[in-house]
Structure 1
Amino acid sequence: MRERSTDDLGQELMGAPNIDAYIHNNEAFFSEQNITESLAELYERKAVSKAALARKSGMSEVYLHQVFSGRRNPSRDRLLCLCIGLEATLEETQCLLKQSAYAQLYPKSKRDAIITYGILHHMELHAINDKLFAENEKTLF
């Protein structure tokens, strides 16, 4: 079966006579949004313990364990904290945000620009939060 672009699916959805027909016809194209597996794959590629990841991400080990076991879904900000703690690339971060159905980092947003800069320059979470606070932007935690 040939892959369909997001634009093609959007066009079909706008012209669909009903949602049931659209879902039935396009079931194979819906993304499997399993953030747990993607985070686990990223974690396996990085050289960090879960205790260190929790510390670098500004969260408890209990919460981190719940995320990795699939019992909790992190919010956008928590996911960004995890990406920073894992020293994920900007591309890896954008992929995880998209997969989780969260807005990707947007350079026209001052807050997102600060976070993006921090990711690109491997800044620690506390340094990113300090800059967000200094710019009167909502911190990540």
Structure 2
Amino acid sequence: MKDQTRPEMVPGTAALLERLFKTASFDHFLQQNEQAMQPEPFHLYICAMCRQKGLVREHVIQRANIERGYGHQIFRGIREPSRDKVLQLAFGFGLNVPEAQRLLRAAEKSPLYPRLKRDAAILFCINRGESLVQMQLLLSELGLSPLGGAEC
């Protein structure tokens, strides 16, 4: 399915990288590609994901175990979520590993890194399609901090 949130004239990442490496001047590159370098606001990305997956925000928030009011603030763009909250949303959406990594990128958060024990445990659970609760139990068993402490 084609991503309808991006205009046709916006190049993909590979094309943008090729343009960057071929340009004679960084200023020229910025002038020609500034629009392509503007990330989509995270709240619009997750709203589009709800539509694409046929999900209701409320259900995603519940499955993500995020406080209801705070979750709706994220979906309205009032609050910017922490990396942990984005990961909770990944479980709320039921994402696979590539989708979860894209969600983190859309939120401008660092991707899950398998050399970090906590990240590896989260990746393991996402890959197996486990629930947030199952993942939190694994983190607890390993003596690692759970996702989503404070709502700030």
Tell me the residue number matched to 1:63.
70
2:112 paired with 1:112: no
* Count of residue pairs the alignment pairs up: 137
CA contact (8 A) 2:96 2:126 kept: yes
Equivalent of residue 41 in structure 2, options 34, 41, 50: 34
Residue by residue over 1:5-55, the C-alpha shift from the partner in whole angstroms, topping out at 9 and shown as x without a partner, is: 44764x69xx97xx9777445423313231111101211233543333222
- Cα 1:20–1:6, aligned 2, differ >3 Å: closer, same or farther? closer
TM-score of the superposition, structure 1-length normalised? Answer: 0.79
Q: For residues 38 and 2 of structure 1, what CA distance do their matches in structure 2 show?
A: 16
- The Cα shift of 1:129 comes to 1.0
Tell me the residue number matched to 2:137.
130
Q: For residues 122 and 43 of structure 1, what CA distance do their matches in structure 2 show?
A: 18
Percent identical across equivalent pairs? 26
Which structure 1 residue ranges, 5 or more long, are not aligned?
A: none
Tell me the residue number matched to 1:75.
82
Which structure 2 residue ranges, 5 or more long, are not aligned?
A: 1-8
**CA RMSD across the alignment:** 2.7
- Cα 1:32–1:84, aligned 2, differ >3 Å: closer, same or farther? same
- Cα 1:32–1:47, aligned 2, differ >3 Å: closer, same or farther? closer
Q: For residues 57 and 32 of structure 2, what CA distance do their matches in structure 1 show?
A: 42
Tell me the residue number matched to 2:96.
89
